[in-house]
Amino acid sequence: MVMNRASALETPWPPWHCPRHQLPLQPASESLACAQGESFSFHLGIPRFVSPGHYATAFGAQWKRYRRTQLDSYTGHPLSRDRARRAIGEELWSRLAGLDLLECGCGAGRFTEVLLQQGARVTSVDLSEAVEANQENLPQSRTHRIAQADILQLPFLPESFDLVFCLGVIQHTPSPETTLASLYSQVRPGGALVVDHYAHSLSWYTKSAFLLRYYYRRLPPAKGLPAIERLVDRWLPLHEKVRRFRPAQIVLSRVSPVLCYYHALPQLSDDLQREWALLDTHDSLTCWYCHARSRRAVRAALQRLGAEAIWCEYGENGVVARARRPLLSAHTAGQSSGL
């Protein structure tokens, strides 16, 4: 059955389901209740499907501290828009309006913003308290809702979304292949999955970040954020000095634990250069998991899941991939996507 997208905004959201029992959740006072007795509370208007103490605590602190840093509306440059658009592909990008889109690992909302601008109906989830930063930046509305949830235990029935979108996330989960499978399970027949993943590179293994991570990721956020600020304030001026001298940049990037954008994004102002350096250095030094995969490995994982029309290339942030769930899958019972 192909949905009429013109009426998509009038159709209900893919309904919440208990991540454990797959039963529909009924609204109770300030919570969602499962018939098996489980209950998931709302906090700040956001349903919470995770318990505290998950591995993404540092990300939550990071996105609250740097809530607006990567938003196009803040930088004045279409950096997030261009990256999302390249990953989604022109054809699908032009038809996002009214589609049910699941954004996994939404962070503070750099991509939420541009997906909403394209008219998609976006369900944004994140494992961490970053959902609160996302809500402050992009309040919930009839085209945007937010949940704190684990990608491996999503609060929806399988095959609920036209497009599942997940950039900058999978490498930070315990098992990229398991995460891919869970994301793919949410795609409706005929719908699409769009992801990216860090790739192996020489700098990946030679950068000092590789070792420093063992120290920094153990710090509680209250210590981790200031520690990273001190690191950036020590190293970034050196990066700035050699910003126009590529050979020195390359040498410096081998010894400096600080990630900077003087080369990749010269259009950013000095203030934004510092903010992006703080944010991405914190990201790279405090993440608990940080995997790399080749293009071939990502493609093979998507093939094993039964995806078709697989497109998989190296891009600015590693491997970028998109794929479709076949319209006639053997176990299809639910709704198909109108893509």
Q: Which residues bind Zn ion (CB under 5 A)?
A: 18, 20-21, 34, 36, 38
Taking the complex as a whole, the smallest distance from the CB of residue 24 to Zn ion amounts, in Å, to 10
Q: Which is nearer to Zn ion, 33 or 300 (CB)?
A: 33
CB of 49 to Zn ion, least distance (A): 10
Find the shortest distance in angstroms from Cβ 27 to Zn ion: 15
Decide whether 7 or 29 has the Cβ nearer to Zn ion.
29
Q: Residue 40 and residue 51: Cα distance in Å, rounded?
A: 10
Quote the least distance from Cβ 71 to Zn ion, whole Å: 35
State in angstroms the smallest separation of the CB of 253 from Zn ion: 48
Structure tokens, 168: 């900058």
For the chain, what is the largest distance between any 2 Cα atoms, rounded to a whole number of angstroms? 64
- What is the identity of the amino acid at 300? A
Q: Residue 49 or 66: which CB sits closer to Zn ion?
A: 49
Q: Provide the CA 31 distance to its chain's centre, in angstroms.
A: 26
Min. distance of Cβ 105 from Zn ion in angstroms?
24
Q: Considering the complex, what minimum distance in angstroms separates the CB of residue 38 from Zn ion?
A: 4
Cβ neighbour number for residue 22 with a 10 Å cutoff: 12
Burial (Cβ within 10 Å: 0-12, 13-18, ≥19) of residue 323: buried
Return the exposure string of 277-290: e unless at least 16 CB atoms fall within 10 Å of the residue's CB, then b: bbbbbbbbbbbbeb
Helical spans, DSSP H, in the chain: 57-65, 72-75, 79-88, 90-93, 110-117, 130-137, 176-185, 202-206, 209-216, 221-241, 246-255, 270-286, 295-304
DSSP character string of 196-263:
EE----HHHHHSTHHHHHHHHTTS-HHHHHHHHHHHHHHHHHHHHHTTT-HHHHHHHHHH------TT
Residue 165 CB, shortest distance to Zn ion, in Å, is: 26
Return the number of the residue (20 or 246) whose C-beta is nearest Zn ion.
20
> DSSP letter at 296?
H
Beta carbon nearer to Zn ion, 18 or 79: 18
At 66, is the secondary structure helix, strand, or coil?
coil
CA nearest neighbour of 299 among 133, 162, 157, 180: 180
- Of 18 and 259, which has the nearer Cβ to Zn ion? 18
